[in-house]
Amino acid sequence: MKPLSLIYWIKACLGILVAAVCALLGVNLFTGILIGILAYVLSDTLLRELFIEKVDKQSTVSKTGLGVYVLTWVFFWALFFTLINPPA
């Protein structure tokens, strides 16, 4: 698998994992956003260190998968929250 594809899928799965954590903890919107940003920054730092020799620029690692991370995180957070707290 190519390095950028691997980074993309890691960030997609991370979005689902962070969404599950936010839903299970039952955090409010502001705290959830902080958790999501913190998880992205930490994972981005780690991925840049792991893939520094395999990509052209370090900024490529940061840009790859940003959109999929945000979309999967928001979608699955809403889904998991709804499944945990169904409407009456």
Degrees (nearest 5) of the Cα angle 20, 3, 8? Answer: 30
**Per-residue pLDDT of the chain in tens (88 residues, 90 and over written 9):** 898 999 999 999 999 999 999 999 999 999 999 999 999 999 999 999 998 888 888 888 889 999 999 999 999 999 999 999 988 7
Domain boundaries, the chain: 9-82
In this structure, are residues 19 and 77 in contact, taking their beta carbons and an 8 Å threshold? yes
Task: Give pLDDT, residue 6.
Answer: 94
Give the pLDDT confidence score for residue 55 in this predicted structure: 86
Please, which residues have CB within 8 angstroms of residue 56's CB and are 6 or more apart in sequence?
Answer: none
